[in-house]
Amino acid sequence: MGRLQDRVAIVTGTARGIGSAIGRRFAAEGALVVGVDIKGDLGEQVAREVVADGGRVPFLAGDISQESDVRRVVRSVLDEHGQVDILVNNAAVQKEAQLTDVTVEDFHAVVNVNLLGSFLFCREVLPSMIARRSGSIINMSSVLGWVSDPLLPVYSATKAGLLGLTRNIAITYGQDGIRCNAICPGDVDTELNRVYFEAHPDPVAFRGRVEHEYPMRRIASTDEIAKVAVFLASDDSSFVSGTHRMVDGA
C-alpha cells in the first residue's frame, strides 16, 4: 500500500520535467494520476511508460490556459472516477527577456499558463473537494516567487502570484478539509531550465556558475521535487497548509 493508494490526482504538465516525475512518483505510491499537457504525443508516451511499470496514468490533452479545456478535463475525471483528491498545478512556460523587451503577447502567454491555468484548475476542482470535505492542492511556485532574475520578470511575477493564491485557498477552504501548499524549487535539471541556460552567451559556463552558487554545488533532479510533492499530497502532511516548501538545496 502506497502513501497515495487509490487516490485520484490531476497533475498538469506531465509530458516532461517535474510534472513527469511527479506523475511517476504518485503512480508508484498507488494513486491514479490523470496527466494533462498540451503536448499530446509526449504526454501519451509518458503515460504508456508508467502503465508499463504497473502504474495508472490516463492522459488527457488540453491547454490549461483555456477555460473550456480545464472544465472538460475536470468533468471527465469526475465522471470517470467520481472524485479528485489531489491537484498539482505544475505546468509552466517562460519567456527570457528583460522587462523592457517583453511584449504584451509574451506577458499574456506566461500569465495565462502559469497563473490563470492554476486558478482555473483550482476553481474547477474545489466544489467536488468541498463536497467530500477532503483535498490537497499543490501549486508549483519557485524561488523566483521570492527573488527574481533579470531575464524572467513575468515568470517571477506569476510564481509570486501562486504563493498568494495558495494562501488564499488554504485560509478560505481549510474549514472544508482542504489543504493547499506551494513548492518553491531552485534550479532543476529540466528542459525549461536548459532553455534558460541556452539564453546566455556561454550556456555551459553559466550553468557551472549557477551550480557553484548552491551549497551542494549542483542543481536538483526532477525526482527530488517529486518526493516533496508526495509528502504534501499524502497524510504525512495532514496539518501542513497555507505554506511553501523551499527545495533549493540550501
Q: Which residues are catalytic?
A: 155
**What count of residues does the chain have?**
250
SS3 8: strand
Q: Note whether 210 and 138 are within 8 A (CB).
A: no
How far from 63 is each of 71, 117, 174, CA to CA, in Å?
A: 11, 8, 29
Element (H, E) at 44: helix 40-52
- For residues 25 and 20, what is the distance between their CA atoms, to the nearest angstrom? 9
- For residues 176 and 129, what is the distance between their CA atoms, to the nearest angstrom? 8
- For residues 131 and 227, what is the distance between their CA atoms, to the nearest angstrom? 28
* Phi, psi angle pair for 147, to nearest 5°: -115, -160
CA contacts within 13 A on the Cβ side of 21: 18
